[in-house]
Amino acid sequence: MPQCIFCEWNELPLDCEECPDCGKKPFSGMYFDKATYESVASLEEAGKIVDAWNLLMEQWYAHADRDYFDDDMYHELGQKMHELFSRYPILIDKRIELFLQQMACEAYYGGSVGQRTLDEGKKICKQAKRPDLELMVVEECWGINSRGQYPRPEQPDELVDYVKELDELIEKMNVKVEPSD
């Protein structure tokens, strides 16, 4: 029998609407309105791609909240946004915004951002020919992974060289780099 996603109360019946232990809706997706997908489809059909993305992103934030983390919906919504991005690569800035948030979640729950995650972010940016976003991903990853260390360690030589290469490529492409927060 399934467990409550909040308190892991065991053996709840599938038709349970409220956990007897914590009083919350116990199962994944119970706080999600499935009509959201219809709204997203309508927005996409009307050509309002950014609005469709923003609606999905709003729901993703709600389900990725640290106090209420719904793993199944986190991944389902992430997949829906990935599919939308695949149809509309112009959403690259939004895709990287999501990616940075996913890195933060990975670091929160896992302690750091893994190399595979960093490589995935770099690949997304390279495919979009956006070295400015790639630089943002690399710097954000380094920032996350060096948090809580005092004194802050020096960046490894290969990272310093990589950042220099990206800076030179950005200069050649004359791409404006937005400062990250």
Give the type of residue at 126.
K
Q: What DSSP designation does 23 have? A: -
What does pLDDT average to in each consecutive run of 10 residues of the chain (181 residues)? 76 87 82 91 98 96 82 92 96 95 90 90 95 94 78 71 86 67 47
Residues 10 and 56 in one domain: no
Q: Which pLDDT score is estimated for 177?
A: 56
Same domain, 142 and 123: yes
The total of other beta-carbon atoms located within 10 Å of residue 146's CB is: 14
Confidence (pLDDT) at 181: 47
Q: Please choose, from the candidates 19, 20, 2, the residue with its C-alpha nearest in 3D space to the C-alpha of residue 11.
A: 2
Task: State the CB neighbour count (10 A cutoff) for residue 169.
Answer: 15
User: What is the domain extent for residue 56?
Assistant: 33-87
- pLDDT, residue 148, reads 65
pTM for the model stands at: 0.77
For the chain, first and last CA: distance in Å?
44
